[in-house]
A and B are shown apart, each in its own frame.
Chain A
Amino acid sequence: MNEDKRQAYWRANTGLIRNLLIVWAVVSLGCSILLVEPLNNLRMGGLPLGFWMAQQGSILVFVGLIFTYAVQMDRLDRKYDINRRE
């Protein structure tokens, strides 16, 4: 892979990581801790929403984020024709 392509690949990768980490922080630190009190005025089933985010929702989002990263990186690897099976 030449230098330009390498840089472009790395920029795409770090951009994706940045976006996913923003979601990570908003969900875990934002919705589940900093904003838990206002969110508790809303409901998720029988639970206050902030409480549900902290004990269920955030964990489900975490799992989703990791698989999203893996799938998106597969796409990126294909685009840059990276031989994935060494």
Chain B
Amino acid sequence: MSVEVWTTLLVILSFMLYLYIGWRSRVRDSKGFFVAGQGVPALANGAATAADWMSAASFISMAGLISFLGYDGSIYLMGWTGGYVLLALLLAPYLRKFGKYTVPDFVGYRYYSNIARVVAVIAAIFVSMTYVAGQMRGVGIVFSRFLQVDISTGVVIGMVIVGFFSVLGGMKGITWTQVAQYCVLIVAYLIPAVAISLLLTNNPIPQVAFTFSDIVPKLNQLQLDLGFQEYTKPFVNKSMLDVLFIAIALMVGTAGLPHVIVRFYTVTDVRSARYSAGWALLFIALLYTTAPALATFARYNLISTLHNHTIQEIQQLDWAKKWENTKLLTFEDKNGDGIIQLTPDKKTSEIGIDPDIIVLSTPEVAKLAPWVIALVAAGGLAAALSTASGLLLVISSSVAHDIYYRMINPNASESLRVMVGRIMVGFAIAIAGYCGINPPGFVAQVVAFAFGLAAASFFPIIILGVFDKRTNREGAIAGMLAGLIFTCYYILGVKFYGMQPWFFGVSAEGIGTLGMAINFAVTWSVSRLTPPPPVEVQEMVELLRTPGDEPPAIDELDEEHLD
């Protein structure tokens, strides 16, 4: 069977599985819709969190980026895993104990203020919208590359699938589909990695081959011969301070992303929240420790297959021709000697490689069977769809739960609340789909926003909300605003208005770290200059800290404490 037939078959099979799970887990009540009835076991929540977290970017782009950045690519590896330690130790257990539905919910109650709630809602929606547009785009690209439908059709198919299980099943449907999607995506990632590892090093375990075989020393030598820096040499593309700031911003941003945090509301108790963070990171680590191995294998393989070969030789390679057609791989014999050479300088280099093709082309480069190539396509779709669905639910619950139920119509019945939730999911899908089909030109540039803003807004005030009883409404609002405004100003200035990165050359991606520090400082000092929070709120914090007692009776906080 051809690659196209296999791909169609595997994609349809995996989609039918997601639809079936969505149908089986349809819900009627708001607790089921927003937090899956708080009945998800730790292990399942770990897998769901891993799929929720690993997006099209992790699956398709990350290994490629690392293979171009060498050591400096470690910021993504550490940044997107280290945050789970912060999440597991500082946030997840307490938010689970709090036991409500959303992140703005916690902010609103802890800081007895609807202003704080609204600031949190806006930040949550903004962060999630930026992120989800990229996911829908990823769905469209995978469809167009592997199945030759155009990107718009691909996006619409993706919208229908996500729409079905998230409108019907809410968080419950999303959770169990994400578990299935994790299985699909991890198998799809590992099989080609194992195969190329065997091919190059005779060792089937990529992590072991990466560490103990001679592939990296050989790659280092190859890079030096071509005039590049050694692959393992640190701080080639970014300064040490910039690497440090970006790594911290990504870690803290990860811990502050609402679609990740909200997953910990769905487990059965505080103890499960602690363990499921561990399972989540273990599942993520499976892919994240494979990615740097894959990055070196693919780079070594590409250089040795392409460099110093004649154009005729390269054109006999089937996969090289296929990728050349997509313009993501280009050859041009600039000095006219009939031989293709790779050089560090873009102007003289005769090979152009887009980082995105590293993962997608590996199975073909390693001459694997067509069904493996098809599996990679299905895996890419699983990664994009699972992340998109988690984000859509955050957007829906922010509007349906925090704005509509908490602020506009507190007397809304169960069925009305679920109905508003479903409508908002549909609405968010439509906007996300539109952005996927007509991507605003700045999408790639605003990704820095999602992490920077999550780091500078949520993270400090949630931590202080649990660990410092004295933190009050005034401090939290001032801190969130200060962090958000500073970070926005710096990112917008550097990315769009040609401002010099004046803070010691720290780039827009890393400035969220400073924004977070500002938020901490402002929240702490303003809280100490203004009256302490009401006694009920201090008692609630006390209860959050001990897992065993009754959950805090926040519903008894009467309306006069909510401004």
**Do A and B truly interact?**
yes
Q: Quick check: B82 and A24 within 8 Å, CB to CB?
A: yes
Q: Determine whether B237 belongs to the interface, using a CB cutoff of 8 Å to chain A.
A: no
Kindly identify, within residues 43 to 102 of chain B, every residue whose CB is under 8 Å from any CB belonging to chain A: 66, 71, 73-74, 77-78, 81-82, 84-86, 88-90, 93
Cα–Cα, bound, A67→B274 (Å): 8
Taking CB atoms, residues of chain B closer than 8 Å to A9 are 545-546
Q: Quick check: B85 and A20 within 8 Å, CB to CB?
A: yes
Q: Quick check: A63 and B546 within 8 Å, CB to CB?
A: no
Write the nearest CB–CB distance from A18 to chain B, whole angstroms. 10
Query: Which of B275-283, B334-342, B349-357 has 4 or more CB atoms under 8 Å from chain A?
Result: B275-283
Query: Which of B242-250, B320-328, B359-367, B494-502 has 4 or more CB atoms under 8 Å from chain A?
Result: B242-250
Cα–Cα, bound, A71→B78 (Å): 23
Beyond A60-B289, A63-B281, whether A50 also contacts B85 by CB under 8 A is no
Q: Which of A14, A50, A59 sits near B289, CB closer than 8 Å? A: A59
Q: Determine whether B181 belongs to the interface, using a CB cutoff of 8 Å to chain A.
A: no
Q: Quick check: B288 and A59 within 8 Å, CB to CB?
A: yes
Taking CB atoms, residues of chain B closer than 8 Å to A33 are 240, 243-244, 247
Write the nearest CB–CB distance from B234 to chain A, whole angstroms. 5
Write the nearest CB–CB distance from A30 to chain B, whole angstroms. 10
Write the nearest CB–CB distance from A64 to chain B, whole angstroms. 9
Write the nearest CB–CB distance from A55 to chain B, whole angstroms. 4
Beyond A10-B545, A56-B211, A84-B271, whether A24 also contacts B244 by CB under 8 A is no
Taking CB atoms, residues of chain B closer than 8 Å to A85 are 269
**From DSSP, what is the main secondary structure of chain A's interface residues?**
helix
Cα–Cα, bound, A52→B271 (Å): 33
Write the nearest CB–CB distance from B71 to chain A, whole angstroms. 6
Q: Quick check: A54 and B85 within 8 Å, CB to CB?
A: no
B contact residues, range: 35 or more
Beyond A59-B78, A63-B278, whether A48 also contacts B212 by CB under 8 A is no
Q: Quick check: A17 and B285 within 8 Å, CB to CB?
A: no
Write the nearest CB–CB distance from B200 to chain A, whole angstroms. 13
Beyond A40-B234, A67-B278, whether A51 also contacts B271 by CB under 8 A is no
Q: Mark A19-34, 1 if CB is under 8 A from B, else 0.
A: 0110010001100111
Query: Which of B213-221, B301-309, B311-319 has 4 or more CB atoms under 8 Å from chain A?
Result: B213-221
Q: Quick check: B74 and A32 within 8 Å, CB to CB?
A: yes
Write the nearest CB–CB distance from A26 to chain B, whole angstroms. 12
Cα–Cα, bound, A46→B232 (Å): 11
Listed A/B pairs (26) with beta-carbon separation below 8 Å: A6-B546, A13-B545, A20-B85, A28-B251, A33-B244, A46-B215, A46-B216, A46-B217, A47-B216, A48-B232, A51-B74, A54-B71, A54-B77, A56-B210, A56-B289, A58-B78, A62-B84, A63-B281, A63-B285, A66-B281, A69-B274, A70-B274, A74-B271, A77-B547, A85-B269, A86-B548
- Which 5 interchain pairs have the tightest Cβ spacing? A82-B548, A54-B74, A45-B212, A70-B274, A66-B278
Q: Which residues of A contact B (CB under 8 A)?
A: 1, 6, 9-10, 13-14, 17, 20-21, 24, 28-29, 32-34, 36-37, 40, 44-48, 50-52, 54-56, 58-60, 62-63, 65-67, 69-70, 73-74, 77, 80, 82-86
Q: Which residues of B contact A (CB under 8 A)?
A: 66, 71, 73-74, 77-78, 81-82, 84-86, 88-90, 93, 207, 210-217, 232, 234, 240, 243-244, 247-248, 251, 269-271, 274-275, 277-278, 281-282, 285, 288-289, 292, 467, 542, 545-549, 551
Given contacts A21-B85, A21-B86, 19 further A-B contacts (CB under 8 A): A10-B545, A24-B82, A28-B247, A32-B74, A34-B240, A34-B244, A36-B71, A45-B212, A51-B74, A56-B210, A58-B78, A58-B81, A66-B281, A67-B275, A69-B88, A73-B271, A73-B274, A77-B271, A86-B548
